[in-house]
Structure 1
C-alpha cells in the first residue's frame, strides 16, 4: 500500500443519525456496532487507509464518547503518526457555539483544519454505509474527467417507503449527473448515491466560503441540486456489495446478510481488510448441550443453548435450554434458561431472564435498548 499524501479523507460520524434513532440515542452513527466486532466508522476509515490515504479527519457531532474511545490514537488503522494521521474534529460552530445542521456547515466549522492540509484532493464519506471500496480508480476518473465533484454511486433497489434519506442520481452516457433527487416517490433499480464525494481542496474552499456567506448548510440541496448548471458533476460507479443503514430493518438485515459466505467475502476482502479496535477476549466456550447453526459468533461468548442464524457480538451468554433464532445480539447480552427469542436486535448489556418468549419479524425486528432487562 503506497501512501498518498495528496488526498485528505473526511468522515462524517453523525450524518443521518435520525434514520436509526433507536441505535443512536446514546451513540453516534459511526459508533453503531456491526458484524460481531466492528463499528460503522471502521468501513470508511479502513477504505481510506487501504487506498493509501494517510491523513483522515473524523467530524463528530453528539454522543461521541464511545466513538472517541473506539478510535483512540488511530493505531489500529496505522494512523498514529507525527505527520498526518487521525484527527478527531469538534462539532461546534465557530459562531454561536451550536452543532452543525448539514455537511457544508460542518465543513465551515472545521475549515481551519482543512486549510492547513497540503493535500490537493478531499474525499468525503459518511459512516452509515457497509462496503469495501478502493478510492484509487474513482480519484483517477475524477482527475481525468475535469469534474468539479465526483459522486460515488451504486446500482441497487430503492424503495421510497423504506428509505428515509435516499439520494438518487440521473446520469448520462458520459457519467455526467443531470439530476439529483432526494427521497423521490419511486421504487426499483436506481443509481443510489453512496454519499461519497471527491473534489479538490480549492473547490471545497470555494463552496464552503460561499455557503458561509449565504448561510447554506446542505451539500446535496444547496450545491448538487441548486447549482448543477454552474459546475460539472460526474458520477463513479461502485460495483461491490453495499448496505446503507437507513432504518432498524436495514441494520438488522445488513448483519444477517453476513451469514451468506459470498456476501461476507465481498464485504470483508482479505486484500483490503476492515480494521477495528482489538479486543483481548477469551475464545468462545460451547457447552456440552449447545447447538449452533449458521451463525457468526465473536470471541468471549458462552453458549450452552441453541443458536440459529444469528450474529453474536463479544461476550454474549446463552444459557441452557434457551433457543435463539434470527437475532443480532450486541456485546454483553445475556439470555436466560428456557428463553425462546426470534428476530430480536438487543443492544449492549441487555439481560433477558428465564423462560421469556420474545418474537419480532424480519420486516419489524424487536429492538431492546442498551442495558434493558426483560
Structure 2
C-alpha cells in the first residue's frame, strides 16, 4: 500500500460545538493554534508528507476562513492540474440538508461522487480537532502488514470528553476485539483518534449500508458494529499528540508547546507542518522589553513584559504592559501598563491602557474577535 494510492478525507467541523467560543465564525479546522498554524494544517501536512496527492475537506458552514487559509493548496504542494486539494461544501440530498450534515456518515454519503471519481484504492479519514505529527506511511504499512479491513489510529491516555469516543480493546496482535462508546472509564485507556484507513470500496459499501438502514453513526454503525465481521486493528500514534475537547484543553495543549520536547515532537524539520505563508518582518523588541519561556511569532512589537505565553503574528505589547500565561491571537494589542494573566484573545482584540485582567490556568478568560476591553 503506497501513499500515492490513498485518498485523504478531512472532516473540518465534527467537533465545532466543543469550543463554540472559537468556532462561532469559523470551522474547527481553521481555529488558530501554536502562534502561526490552524488545526487543519496537522492532518493535511501529515497526509502530504507521506505522499498523499488528493485530499477532500468536508465542511458545512462558516468555512470562509478555511477557504482563505488553504487557498489553492500551494503551501502543501496541492495546487495541481490533476488531483490536489478540494473543499467539499454541503448540498441537498435525502440525508443532508442545506444547513449541513448531522454526522460523518451523512457527510461522506453526500460526497460519494467525490469518492467514486478518485482513482485511489484506499482512503484515510481524519478529523480536525487534534494535533499530531507522525509518518502516515507507518500507518499505511501497518495496515498492509496486518492485512486489515480497517485500521484505527489510537492513543493511550485519559479519554477526551467528546461525543461518541471509542475505547478500544486490543489483543496481543493489535486486533480490536471490542469497542465501547461513551464509556465512563477511570484512568488511562486506548481510545480512537478518529483516524481511519480502509479500502475506498469498503467505505462506500459501509456508508451506503448504514444510510439504507438509517444507522448513521460512524462510531457505532461503521466501527463497533463490524468488530466481529471485519478485521479491525489498532495503530498506536507515537510521540506527542493531543485531542481538543474544550476551551480549557485548547489552552492546556497550547501551553504544552512551551516545553521543548513537545515542540520538537510536533514541529520538526523531518516532517514539517506546512501552513499559509505570511510575509512578516521580524519581531521588534524594545530596549526595556522582557520575554521569557514564550513563543512569539514574526511581526510582533514587544516593549513590555511577556512570560509563559504564546503570541501570534502582529501582536503589540506596549511599554509597561505585562502578559503572563496567555494566548494572544493575531493583531491583539495590549496597551501601556495593562496587565493580563491566563487569558485567550481572538484576532484583533484591544486591551486598553491600565486594565488588569486575570483568569486562571484552570479557567482562562476568552475575549472574542475584534472587541475593545
Do the structures match in fold with TM over 0.5? yes
In structure 2, the residue corresponding to 1:226 is in which secondary structure? helix
* Structure 2 partner of 1:24: 23
* 1:150 Cα offset (Å): 0.6
* Structure 2 partner of 1:311: 310
Matched, 1:107 2:108: yes
In structure 2, the residue corresponding to 1:50 is in which secondary structure? helix
Q: TM-score, normalised by structure 2?
A: 0.96
* Structure 1 partner of 2:136: 135
Aligned residues: 371
The 2-side partners of 1:244 and 1:92 are apart by: 29
* Structure 1 partner of 2:345: 346
Matched, 1:53 2:52: yes
* Structure 1 partner of 2:276: 277
* Structure 2 partner of 1:246: 245
Cα 1:279/1:24, change in 2 over 3 Å: same
The 1-side partners of 2:305 and 2:290 are apart by: 5
In structure 2, the residue corresponding to 1:259 is in which secondary structure? coil
State the 4+ residue runs in structure 1 displaced beyond 4 angstroms. 162-165
* Structure 2 partner of 1:126: 127
Q: Deviations over 1:19-53 (max 9, x none)?
A: 11111111100000001000000000000000110
CA contact (8 A) 2:207 2:222 kept: no
* Structure 1 partner of 2:156: 155
* 1:187 Cα offset (Å): 2.4
The 2-side partners of 1:201 and 1:226 are apart by: 18
Matched, 1:236 2:213: no
CA contact (8 A) 1:341 1:359 kept: yes
In structure 2, the residue corresponding to 1:9 is in which secondary structure? strand
The 1-side partners of 2:359 and 2:306 are apart by: 16
**Structure 1 stretch 32-41 or stretch 178-187: which is displaced more?**
178-187
CA contact (8 A) 1:165 1:246 kept: no
In structure 1, the residue corresponding to 2:143 is in which secondary structure? helix
CA contact (8 A) 1:16 1:165 kept: no
Q: Deviations over 1:200-234 (max 9, x none)?
A: 01101111211221223221022212332222211
* Structure 1 partner of 2:177: 178
* 1:289 Cα offset (Å): 1.5
* 1:248 Cα offset (Å): 0.6
CA contact (8 A) 1:321 1:337 kept: yes
In structure 1, the residue corresponding to 2:159 is in which secondary structure? strand
* Structure 1 partner of 2:212: 213
* Structure 2 partner of 1:333: 332
Q: Deviations over 1:292-338 (max 9, x none)?
A: 11111111111111100000000001111111100000000111111
The 2-side partners of 1:133 and 1:61 are apart by: 28
CA contact (8 A) 1:93 1:100 kept: no
Cα 1:165/1:225, change in 2 over 3 Å: closer
